[in-house]
Amino acid sequence: MRTWGSMEEFEAFLDAGGIVEVGDDMPHEYRQAVFAFIEMHANSELMGGLTERDWIPRTPGLRHKMSVLAKTQDEIGHGHLLYMVAADMGIKTRTEMLEDLFAGKSRFHNVFHYQAVTWGDQVAIAFLVDAAALASQQAVFKNCSYGPYRRILKRIISEEGFHMRLGEDRMMRIAEGTEAQRKLFQDSLDRWFWPALQLFGPDSKPNDKLLRWHIKSERNEVLRDKWVQKFVPMLHSYGFTIPDPDLRFDETTRKWVLGEIDWEPLKRTLANGGPDSTRRISEARDNYERSGWVREALAQ
Amino acid sequence: MNDLPPPVVDYLLAIADDKHLMGQQHAEWIGVTPFLEEDLAFCSIGQDELGHAAHLYALLAGDDDTAIDELAYRHEPGAYRSCWFVERATPIWAEALVRHWMFDAADQLRWSLLAGSSLSALADLAQRVEREERYHRLHSDTLLDGLLASPVAAEPIGAAVTALAPFALTMFEPVAGEPDTVAEGVAEAPFATQRDAWKQRTEARFAAACTIDWPDDPPYGDNRTTRSADFGPLMARMREVIDLDPSAVW
């Protein structure tokens, strides 16, 4: 077990590229911050799977449904792995994390506080949201100082890449499809563009501990901008409209510039007050409680 | 399109439709089973069942997604050959688990009749299906071993068995084409010849939970040509996106 005499010594270790392992005597603040970050990631993978499950039975096509099932299996599998990594940190057990999630006491990503109301939403999630999540995860993996999380992220990122490509492929079919399909996706884009963008969060604070401790390697605004520069022209090329009347192309910087971002919806979701937060959490809690006899029986 | 005789098409369609709807029913449970490992297991098993269905539909319609989906989603209700057991809605997890065990136990017996099929593609598929199905059986047996060792689980599992038993017998309901299919050597014997063996296995499996009172008159559907009450809502849900625009490719 490694130990450090002070926070300065620990931070110097991290700055030199040091990797912290689960058995190390890491500073309490670091342990708490890493745990909270991984717990939220785990919760988000699980709640993301629940958002998608609403439309799995309605997937249009037999083999298509197999692909969508495999994707959701991956997402829940990511949650499964991440809960183990988080539990190993000795702050909460997996059961405690799940019970906190279902009691509305812990957080998950903003996008999963919204309901997928059409099949177009399902595609928009796979295309826009998974891409945003992947970009965030890649930035964490690049320089992550917590070894167990970094190793799990390698697998998660490789699978999320397939999800994004599945979403892209489905979006392209719709883009090249009928008018009804194109309208369906445009409506979904109107609903999901801003939540997907807000997944990156507001601009990072100057003293962001997650950056200082090499959990994150990129500032939120940098990642957000990269996503905008990739997806705005791509969506335009398929004939879709970005739901931002103030969107413009800056000829000087050769970059797309969005209008002002309204962060209020993000704040509401972080307080579990998003458009679908109540239903999402209460349904998950009800299902969990209904099946308590199974867990009780197996524990005997 | 295949050049199989209509009775054989009828027979294979029944297996494909059963597999398809069983996979669909498993898929309904993703994310809401009692614990994460079960979510993953149901997801995986559901994919396998849908995959088996896709292989069978491909034998009938060719290995093309549009042709497969035509059989899977666009038939008139009377053209499906699913049994009522797989059409049944199961909002209770104990029933989902018990059906998973019952279906896979019957499936093993059904595919054992096809291992030496005169239709070589079907015999090959029987080998592949068994390689995957043994893990399905291992999963449900392991879980039931754990649950039935506890008195907590006896009541919900017993109630599920009692509710499902009459419908489970519909798995053995033959299609009209089965006698000719057996005569052609595509299947070794009628599936109903396995029913008593399956009932014995089922009684032994669930003895710790209940005594099964098998009905003399299961709710058969006229050689699988009529659908149960649960089929309509299930198919409407499955076709919801397809029906948005029948000309669309998704």
165-204 in chain B: CB under 8 A from chain A = none
- Whole-number Cα distances in Å, A288 to A269, A295, B89, B97, B160: 22, 10, 20, 16, 19
Query: What is the distance between the alpha carbons of residues B231 and A1, in angstroms, rounded to a whole number?
Result: 60
What's chain A's Rg over C-alpha atoms? 20
- Flag whether residue A167 sits within 8 Å of chain B, measured between CB atoms: no
- Flag whether residue A76 sits within 8 Å of chain B, measured between CB atoms: yes
- Flag whether residue A53 sits within 8 Å of chain B, measured between CB atoms: yes
Dihedrals phi, psi of B234, to nearest 5 degrees: -65, -50
Number of domains in chain B: 1
- Whole-number Cα distances in Å, A208 to A215, A265, B162: 10, 22, 59
Is B209 domain-assigned?
Answer: yes
Nearest to A60 among B35, B247, B250 (CB): B250
Directed axis angle between helix B120-148 and helix B93-112, to 10°? 140
Q: Contact A61/B241 with Cβ under 8 angstroms?
A: no
CA distance B4 to chain A (A): 23
Is B1 domain-assigned?
Answer: no
Query: What is the distance between the alpha carbons of residues B81 and A256, in angstroms, rounded to a whole number?
Result: 55
Q: Where are the domains of chain A?
A: 7-299
Nearest to A60 among B50, B51, B241 (CB): B241
CA distance B124 to chain A (A): 20
The pLDDT of residue B168: 97
Query: What is the distance between the alpha carbons of residues A195 and B96, in angstroms, rounded to a whole number?
Result: 35
- Closest by CA position to A133, among listed A82, A95, A91, A170: A82
Is B249 domain-assigned?
Answer: no
For B136, residues 6+ apart whose C-beta sits below 8 A from its C-beta are B45, B48, B100, B104
Low-confidence ranges of chain A (pLDDT < 50): none
Dihedrals phi, psi of A180, to nearest 5 degrees: -60, -40
CA A103 to chain centre: 20
- Closest by CA position to B212, among listed B145, B167, B150, B151: B167
The pLDDT of residue B1: 58
Q: Contact B24/B48 with Cβ under 8 angstroms?
A: no
Q: In this complex, do A56 and B238 lie within 8 Å of one another by their Cβ atoms?
A: no
> Using a CB-CB distance cutoff of 8 angstroms, which residues of chain B are in contact with residue A61?
65, 69, 250
Can you name the residues that pair with A248 across neighbouring β-strands?
A257
Sign for the CA dihedral angle at B19, B21, B23, B29 comes to negative
Containing structural domain, residue B145: 6-244
The pLDDT of residue B179: 98
> Using a CB-CB distance cutoff of 8 angstroms, which residues of chain B are in contact with residue A180?
244-245, 248
For residues A148-182, one letter each, b for 16 or more C-beta atoms within 10 angstroms of the residue's C-beta and e for the rest, the string is: bbbebbeebeebbeebbebbbebbebbbebeeebb
Q: In this complex, do B250 and A298 lie within 8 Å of one another by their Cβ atoms?
A: no
62-101 in chain B: CB under 8 A from chain A = 65, 68-69, 72-73, 93
Sign for the CA dihedral angle at A282, A287, A293, A298 comes to negative
CA A150 to chain centre: 16
Give the ipTM: 0.96
- Whole-number Cα distances in Å, B229 to B84, B86, B95, B96, B233: 9, 12, 18, 18, 8
Is B127 domain-assigned?
Answer: yes
Give me the CATH number covering residue B105: 1.20.1260.10
Nearest CA in chain B to A57: B238
- Flag whether residue A16 sits within 8 Å of chain B, measured between CB atoms: no
Can you name the residues that pair with A25 across neighbouring β-strands?
A3
Q: In this complex, do A80 and B40 lie within 8 Å of one another by their Cβ atoms?
A: yes
Residue B217 exposure: Cα atoms within 13 Å on the Cβ side: 0
Phi-psi category of B67—alpha, beta or left, where left has phi over 0 and alpha has psi -120 to 50? alpha
Q: What is the CATH number of domain A7-299?
A: 1.20.1260.10
- Flag whether residue A50 sits within 8 Å of chain B, measured between CB atoms: yes
Nearest to A76 among B40, B93, B237 (CB): B40
Nearest CA in chain B to A82: B36
Largest CA distance in chain A: 68
For A282, residues 6+ apart whose C-beta sits below 8 A from its C-beta are none
Q: In this complex, do A177 and B248 lie within 8 Å of one another by their Cβ atoms?
A: yes
Query: What is the distance between the alpha carbons of residues A76 and B37, in angstroms, rounded to a whole number?
Result: 9
> Using a CB-CB distance cutoff of 8 angstroms, which residues of chain A are in contact with residue B46?
69
Nearest CA in chain B to A169: B250
Query: What is the distance between the alpha carbons of residues B88 and B84, in angstroms, rounded to a whole number?
Result: 6
Nearest CA in chain B to A167: B250
- Closest by CA position to B245, among listed A177, A67, A238, A240: A177
- Closest by CA position to B191, among listed B213, B173, B177, B209: B173
Query: What is the distance between the alpha carbons of residues A256 and A253, in angstroms, rounded to a whole number?
Result: 9
The CA angle A100-A111-A116, to the nearest 5 degrees, is 105
For B102, residues 6+ apart whose C-beta sits below 8 A from its C-beta are B85, B164, B168, B171, B202
> Using a CB-CB distance cutoff of 8 angstroms, which residues of chain B are in contact with residue A77?
40
Q: What is the mean pLDDT of each run of 10 residues along chain B (250 residues)?
A: 90 98 95 95 96 98 95 96 97 97 98 98 98 98 97 97 96 97 98 98 98 90 94 97 94
Residue B179 DSSP SS3 = helix
Nearest CA in chain A to B234: A57
For B113, residues 6+ apart whose C-beta sits below 8 A from its C-beta are B187, B188, B189, B191, B194
CA distance A70 to chain B (A): 7
- Closest by CA position to A14, among listed A148, A143, A151: A143
